[in-house]
Structure formats: structure tokens, C-alpha cells
Amino acid sequence: MAVVLRINCLDAIKKFFDQFGTATVDWPYRDRNSTNIPNGYVFVVFANNLSVQSLIENCTLHQGKLSIILKNKNENIKMVEIRPWLLSDQEYRISRTAINRHYSIFVGGVPRTTTAKELAVVIQQAIGYVLLVTLEVDSDTQYPKGAARVVLANREAYVTAIAMRFIKMIKIEQEKEMEIKPFLQDFAQCEECQLLFTRHFCAEVCCLVYLCESCWLRIHNSRGLIGHKPMLKGRHKMKTQNVEQMPLRFLNANSLQYQQSHKQQRKQCQQQLQQQKQRQQPLQGQNSYGRNRVYYSNKEYQANTNQNLLSQNREKAFFTLLNHC
């Protein structure tokens, strides 16, 4: 767990918060030398949740905010504000409408004290049609990492958000510019053929679609968009590949071979789907003995109507017996 406080003193912080439990001080700046003393927010990360609870119990409510007097060897230094992070603030859902994950955007540079609801309000005012906001948190401390995933209701709002690229958030004594990007999936169904799965996403505003290799070549070549680059989701970060860096099999000049291969894969998928439908839709007929016959593509089952009723009654009796045991 972690807390955030407003302070401009360095010396006594570690010793003061250690009284509530093992704590690590995390400065919000990379350069931590004496000439660049942070003035504003600093993060105190506790090893145990109970330490955060103990700290909050020792705070006082001052002007609607939790505060505590920072001390050094029983000497009062100053009053500081404590902002504990509530796990319930990680996610906020505005509407129960069905969610389409393809309309998800990545928001980077989110102030780490921002709740999901606060971010939802900002994006709702600027773009609208917000369904769900989820903040990314550290797996160990459960504290926000400064990024979020926002799911929008329709493609129009999704395209508008990507086209904006940046959005401003004004908080107390702070104005932060946040970056908007497409939220990439590990694998997604090709939105053209809807048969193959792919990692290649075209992030250009005129496209914003997942395309398999064959569909990528065919669509971009036909529309004169050969300069578009696929965006791939890396293990730790999103990255784009230049055309020169793309696999040779992806940019082979003889794309006819890949189109033929794609057609074969598509035909095989359609045949498999047709076979599944035939197995799921049996033909029924009746023979001279009055028995109902059910014909399947691979097996033939005979079922007498009276025997079916008897079997159903036995199952009901067995179920009743189990309930009484």
C-alpha cells in the first residue's frame, strides 16, 4: 500500500513514517540529488496494509482533508496532507451497456492521485460516451502507475479520442496533459475477413483496425496507403515497426502467393463451419415400425417414444431420491 502527501522537507520523512511500519520513500523525480529537492508530492510505500490503516487512524480531519503533524525527535516540523489510495477508486463504470473492447483507448500521464471517477468525468466532458475507466496499478503496492484504459461506447467517440491525441486535466495547483493512444490487444480477430487472428493494428485515424497479413496488404495497396505502419503491443510497451523492419514474409513483393494462401485458409474454415452445422442439424424420419429415427452424418440413433418417456421418469425419480438422501 502507499500514501501520498504534500511536503517540501526531506530529512525526517523516512524516520517519521517508519513508526507505522516498514516504509519506502519514493520521490516523484528521477534526479534525487540535493540540488533537486522535490517540492509537492512524495509517495510513501508501506509493506503492509495495516500500516496504512494505522497511519489514517492517527490523522485528523482538517478542512475535509486528512492531515498529520510531521515530527522529528518530538519536534513539530509542519502539518502535511495524507491521501490514502482506496482500492475501490481503481475502476469506475458509468453505464451497464454492453462493452466492445475494440473501442478501448490508452491514457498515459495520468496524475497518480487521480481516481477512475475523476478521469471518467474529464473524458466524458471532452469526448463523451464513456462506459468504463480502469486505472493500471502496481502489482505489489496496488497504487496507480499513471496510466488508464478507457472503453468508449461507439466508434465515433473512439476515433475522436484518437484524433485528439492529448487531453488536459486540471487539478488543485496542477495542470497535466495526458496522452491518448489506441489500447492494443495481444491478439484480435481480423476485422476484414473475420477468420484469422492477428497482432497487427493500423493506428492511422482513417483505419484503426486489426488486419491479418493478407488483408493488410490487399486493403492498404488498393487504397494507396502503403505507407501505413502496423502498431504491435510489446511485452512492456507499445511499439511501431517501420516498413523496412517488418518481416520479409509480410512485405513480399509477390503478394499473390499470400492472397491464395489466405483464400485456402478461408475456404477450409468455411468447410469446417458447414460440417459443424450439418452435425448439429439432424434429419428426422419415421420407419414402418413407428419409431422415431434421428440421422446424423456419422451415426444413427434409434429412440422409441415410450422408452424416452420412461427414461425421463427414471431420471426424475433418481433426482428426487438424491434430494431426500
Q: What is the CATH number of the domain that holds 113?
A: 3.30.70.330
Q: From 182, 198, 226, give the residue that closes a domain.
A: 182
Do both 235 and 307 map to the same domain?
no
pLDDT at 268 over 60: yes
Q: How many CB atoms lie within 10 A of CB 235?
A: 6
Domain for residue 308, yes or no? yes
pLDDT at 240 over 60: no
Do both 111 and 45 map to the same domain?
no
| CA dist., res. 312 & res. 301, Å (int) | 17
Contact 228, 181 (CB under 8 A): no
Domain for residue 15, yes or no? yes
| pLDDT for the residue numbered 194 | 87
| pLDDT for the residue numbered 155 | 93
| pLDDT for the residue numbered 274 | 72
| CA dist., res. 1 & res. 140, Å (int) | 8
| pLDDT for the residue numbered 146 | 93
| pLDDT for the residue numbered 33 | 52
pLDDT tier at 263, thresholds 50, 70, 90 = low
Our count of domains for the chain comes to 4
pLDDT at 252 over 80: no
Do both 197 and 213 map to the same domain?
yes
Q: Which residue has the cell 481480423?
A: 190
Look up residue 208 and give its three cell numbers.
484503426
User: What does the mean pLDDT of the chain come to?
Assistant: 75
Do both 110 and 146 map to the same domain?
yes
Distance from chain centroid for Cα 127: 19
Domain for residue 264, yes or no? no
| pLDDT for the residue numbered 86 | 84
pLDDT tier at 322, thresholds 50, 70, 90 = very low
Higher pLDDT pick, 202 / 95: 202
Domain for residue 270, yes or no? no
Domain for residue 19, yes or no? yes
Do both 91 and 170 map to the same domain?
yes
Do both 195 and 178 map to the same domain?
no
Instruction: Kindly report the CATH number assigned to the domain that includes residue 202.
Output: 4.10.640
Do both 173 and 217 map to the same domain?
no
Do both 159 and 95 map to the same domain?
yes
Do both 79 and 92 map to the same domain?
no
Do both 214 and 248 map to the same domain?
yes
pLDDT tens digits along 135-150: 999 887 788 999 999 9
| CA dist., res. 50 & res. 111, Å (int) | 25
Higher pLDDT pick, 276 / 321: 276
| CA dist., res. 105 & res. 299, Å (int) | 50
* Average pLDDT of span 203-224: 91
Domain for residue 101, yes or no? yes
For helices 213-222 and 256-280, the axis angle rounded to 10 degrees is 120
pLDDT tier at 3, thresholds 50, 70, 90 = low
Domain for residue 229, yes or no? yes
Higher pLDDT pick, 113 / 174: 113
pLDDT tier at 306, thresholds 50, 70, 90 = very low
Least confident of 75-79, 144-148, 156-160: 75-79
Backbone angles phi, psi at 155, to 5 degrees: -70, -35
H helix and E strand count, the chain? 7, 21
Domain for residue 138, yes or no? yes
| pLDDT for the residue numbered 80 | 86
pLDDT tier at 244, thresholds 50, 70, 90 = very low
Q: From 84, 108, 136, give the residue that closes a domain.
A: 84
Do both 162 and 75 map to the same domain?
no
pLDDT tens digits along 4-57: 555 556 667 888 999 999 888 877 655 555 455 555 677 888 888 889 889 999
The parent domain of residue 249 ranges over: 188-257
